[in-house]
Structure 1
Amino acid sequence: MLLPMSPTSSMFLLGETREHPMHVGGLQLFQPPDGADALDVRAMFEAAVADGDVAPLFSKRARRALTTFGQWGWEPDRSFDLEHHVRFNALPRPGRVLELLALCSRLHSSLLDRHRPLWEMHLIEGLEDGRYATYFKVHHSMVDGVSALRLMQRMLSEDPDERHMPAPWALRSPAPRRADGVDVAQLPGALARGALELAGATPAILRLLNRSLSGHDEVVAAAPKSMFNVPITGARRFAGQSWSIDRIRRISKAGEATLNDTVLAMCSGALRSYLLELGALPDVPLIAMVPVSLHTSESSAEGDGGGNAIGAVLCNLGTHLDDAGERLRTVHASMQRGKESLQGMSQLQILAVSAVAMSPVVLEWLLRAHGRMRPVFNLIISNVPGPHSQLYWNGARLDGVYPLSVPIDGQALNITCTSYADELAFGLTGCRRTVPHLQRLLTFLDDELAALERATGVA
């Protein structure tokens, strides 16, 4: 049976080409339990592959058919081959984090096979400190960042002594009753209700456009052209690092801002320093698109844990300002305006308003017409909340979670953050040809964190 895919999810399939892979990924670092090593972990993975147990989310593939009026839909893969999806890799000596990031950069550059379910799991051995890593890769049509983290949490436990836990792809979740949140049997009624909700969004869309034309919002074609806003290739470069959440929270409290505001301000200062070093800083501020999760606590308990539910806010990063404190205040004020514009709307209405704001970018992307308009925004910066406590898989301690995301044509850099336990991990994913010396951005992020501490008096 072919179940219809939501327009948001199908967009990631429609826009994908060899030069523009549309999958997200995650790098996880594990410390083997006492008395075990990476070879023991490999044996557990091999046993799980031999078992062949697979959750419905991981055994469905994308296909078009007349029953979905030529649109993309999901169907079970009758020839599912688990060994194709679970891979084993070893790092070259000396097995440093540098070699690990280089491997993830290469793995993240290749397309997923559309004839099969759109995911891969790589077990990576050979780290010099005795740890092992997993790199999980899944198409954005299947899950967004919030869904991916929730899936990860389902496979892990807070109990270091728990054993016989399922493999990541064998999640014990309820059988899916929905397709991307829409019950097929109730599709006509859902469409009618959706039409009414969209009609209710019209005043909000008109207000948004009026604010834009009046210059009171970031939703204007005012983002400067930058080195990031050019055609890109399919090769990727990845860099990641974690910082203490407590340090970021103290800045947020002292600066009367949110934690996400402080994250954006860190990115603002780091991007300013990076572009200054390359002689490529625009005179006007960069604009970031900040995804807003529309998932609810109910949605996390329903279905198979997949799907996409994302709105968007545009944020003035204040990269033209010299002072770190001024950049934080600029970011905070911009995000406040963006959030206020979405207040009182339903999930569907927020999606509609976000679609209006993003429409020039989406049209350029789908029509392969980059460069004919000024960019609406310069890059995407996401902050995805993750687990608050220390987690384990069959006694192996999860030491870190680093997100890999999707640069798109005209958006050569993506910054995604993920919280885990007491740390916040930054994952930088860029076009390998377009964004040089990506690792330097990590140094500048560290510098900007210290600058914000001084600016807010918490140093």
Structure 2
Amino acid sequence: MRQLTSLDALFLAHEGDRTVGHVSAYVVLDPSDAPGGRLTIDALRDMMHSRMPLLPPFRWKLVGVPLGLDHGYWATDPEFDLGYHVRETAVPAPGGDDEVATLIGRLFSQPLDRQRPLWELYLVQGLADGRCALFSKVHHALVDGVSGAEILGAMFDLSPEGREVEAPTGSELEHPPSPVEMLLRTIAAAPKRARKQATALPRLVVNAGAIPGSGWIPGLRTAGRMARAIARPLTGDDRPLLEPPSGSAPQVPFSNRLSGHLRMAHVRLDLGEVKAVKTALGTTVNDVIMAIAAGGVRRWLLEHEALPDEPLLALVPVSVRTPEQYGTFGNRVGGMVVPLPTNLRESDERLAAARAAMMTAKQRHEAVPADALIDATRFLPPALFAQATKITLGIAGRPGVRPPMNLIVSNVPGPQVPLYCAGARIESLVPVSPVTHGVGMNITVMSYLGRIDAGIVVDRDQVPDPELVAAGMEEELEALKALAVAAGNGAG
């Protein structure tokens, strides 16, 4: 069997009555090239059946340890039923953006069944112009952004004809053992677990201030600064000490408890235009994306008379997966807390501030071991881990509690060649990512075939109109294009 890491277990513990722990993608398809000019549920199930050898996590079932004494394990589900996981639904034809957003919000708000492998795939019929779509849900305990993209790569093809698939060796896990066997396994692993915790503790203290959310813990950053000051002359480390942003973010309308009802908006941008802005104004694509997000969120805050004087704080996930860890699934992810310059009036000011903030955040991130977040999650004994996570989430979003961040902004590079699913051509890949208590907005973008698709996920009760954010992002790109033209290099 394969044991969950402490970071995998964190995403499981994150789930509650109003929070979900899965990541999703909304994929629009043109079925013209599919057999018969349409994609059927039978054809999709046949394709998925043929790809299962490339998708071992899709057969893994969660097995808990008695009394919660250790993190759980993944084991092959002996009763795996592909038909349960691959389903069909529809929007009223001809389905437009509003109908699709309503369906996705409803599907995304529903947790996955932990008695089965933690994924679902929906074929959505009824879209306008004869289109259909896929909507996938995979638990974050199984995948992060990089391994999620690898799963999409296993499902999709480079031509309508598809390909032959050979099963990789060593992809099957053991079937679930008995509770007694699990308990004996846990007892045997206790010394190794204690050694890992002892090894992680010094690194955790030294790097405590760089861990997202550490500002919530009184004295932790001060202890980290003192530990680094003591360790520097002993290790010869002369890198500058880069302080993270302040420990709490400004209160905004989406800093409250989640209602359990999510809503999604989608905006499509031209990747070539974003790159032209980047080149003309001397920034990076990530800088431009952050500035566009800042413009969109600022538009929403202004419309609702809720714009703070200080910048919002955004969590920007960062992959720490090494080349050797590709194809192993699970989570190898860290994060940077970055000021998002929603408080600045002009687009050029926002871009300059986003560039400076990202540069500082990257320097800070590079100065911290890649496993800092894993060390932080590994420190607590597994028996206390889930309870501590739930207590923390229980505090988040309460009145008077300022959040450590306001929103999540993520950029996932995607393929720039046409992809196909069971013969149907993929037109767009829209990421759909979760929110949590106190952090009620997530903007995740993915590039594909010369375009950038941004999925804006919000709590419906806190942000009933995420379309305003999408419109503001489009307006911000237009303003940045005008700046690029004025710079003399032409972005349009």
- Report Cα offsets for 1:1-58 as digits up to 9, x if no partner: 5x32111111121121121111111111111243745644434124457889564311
2:365 aligned with 1:342: yes
Superposed, 1:202-241 pairs within 5 Å as: 202-205=205-208, 209=221, 217-241=243-267
Partner of 1:7: 6
- Aligned mates of 2:35, 2:351 — CA distance in 1: 46
Matched residue count: 442
Q: Which amino acid aligns with 1:310?
A: V
Partner of 1:150: 150
* Superposition deviation, residue 405 in structure 1: 0.8
Partner of 2:416: 388
Q: Which amino acid aligns with 2:4?
A: M
- Aligned mates of 1:225, 1:339 — CA distance in 2: 25
* Superposition deviation, residue 159 in structure 1: 2.9
Superposed, 1:69-218 pairs within 5 Å as: 69-160=69-160, 162-163=161-162, 172-176=167-171, 192=195, 196=199, 199-200=202-203, 202-205=205-208, 209=221, 217-218=243-244
Q: Which amino acid aligns with 2:364?
A: S
Partner of 1:257: 283
The 10-residue stretch of structure 1 (332-341 or 196-205) with the greater mean CA deviation from structure 2: 196-205
Is the Cα contact below 8 Å between 1:266 and 1:448 reproduced in 2? yes
- Aligned mates of 1:369, 1:319 — CA distance in 2: 22
- Aligned mates of 1:52, 1:263 — CA distance in 2: 34
Partner of 2:308: 282
- Aligned mates of 1:154, 1:45 — CA distance in 2: 14
Is the Cα contact below 8 Å between 2:433 and 2:442 reproduced in 1? yes
* Superposition deviation, residue 217 in structure 1: 3.9
Partner of 1:309: 332
Partner of 2:470: 442
| Residues 207 and 420 (structure 1), Cα distance of their counterparts in 2 relative to 1, 3 Å cut | closer
Q: Which of 348, 352, 362 is residue 329 of structure 1 equivalent to?
A: 352
* Superposition deviation, residue 206 in structure 1: 6.3
| Residues 78 and 165 (structure 1), Cα distance of their counterparts in 2 relative to 1, 3 Å cut | same
Partner-residue secondary structure (3-state), 2:371:
helix
- Aligned mates of 2:378, 2:450 — CA distance in 1: 34
| Residues 129 and 353 (structure 1), Cα distance of their counterparts in 2 relative to 1, 3 Å cut | same
- Report Cα offsets for 1:133-180 as digits up to 9, x if no partner: 1100111111122211111012222234x33667xxxx945534899x
* Superposition deviation, residue 124 in structure 1: 1.1
Q: Which amino acid aligns with 1:349?
A: A
Partner-residue secondary structure (3-state), 1:450:
helix
Superposed, 1:368-383 pairs within 5 Å as: 368-371=395-398, 373-383=401-411
* Superposition deviation, residue 112 in structure 1: 0.9
Q: Larger Cα Rg: Structure 1 or Structure 2?
A: 2
- Report Cα offsets for 1:217-251 as digits up to 9, x if no partner: 44322421111100111111111122111111111
Is the Cα contact below 8 Å between 1:365 and 1:409 reproduced in 2? no
The 10-residue stretch of structure 1 (69-78 or 428-437) with the greater mean CA deviation from structure 2: 69-78
| Residues 131 and 226 (structure 1), Cα distance of their counterparts in 2 relative to 1, 3 Å cut | same
Q: TM-score, normalised by structure 2?
A: 0.81
Q: TM-score, normalised by structure 1?
A: 0.86
Q: Which runs of 5+ in 1 are unaligned?
A: none
- Report Cα offsets for 1:175-234 as digits up to 9, x if no partner: 34899xxxx999977985785466356444468846999x97443224211111001111
Q: Which amino acid aligns with 2:435?
A: P
Partner-residue secondary structure (3-state), 2:95:
coil
- Aligned mates of 1:410, 1:22 — CA distance in 2: 15
RMSD of aligned Cα (Å): 3.3
Q: Which amino acid aligns with 1:271?
A: V
- Aligned mates of 1:337, 1:246 — CA distance in 2: 26
- Aligned mates of 1:23, 1:386 — CA distance in 2: 19
- Aligned mates of 1:219, 1:178 — CA distance in 2: 43
Q: Which runs of 5+ in 2 are unaligned?
A: 175-185, 212-220, 227-240, 380-387
* Superposition deviation, residue 132 in structure 1: 1.4
Q: Which amino acid aligns with 1:102?
A: T
Is the Cα contact below 8 Å between 1:342 and 1:350 reproduced in 2? no
- Report Cα offsets for 1:107-142 as digits up to 9, x if no partner: 111111111111111011122211211100111111
Partner-residue secondary structure (3-state), 1:442:
helix
Is the Cα contact below 8 Å between 1:142 and 1:308 reproduced in 2? yes
- Aligned mates of 2:439, 2:73 — CA distance in 1: 28
- Aligned mates of 2:348, 2:377 — CA distance in 1: 29
* Superposition deviation, residue 295 in structure 1: 1.9
- Aligned mates of 2:281, 2:197 — CA distance in 1: 40
Is the Cα contact below 8 Å between 1:28 and 1:400 reproduced in 2? yes
- Aligned mates of 2:93, 2:32 — CA distance in 1: 23
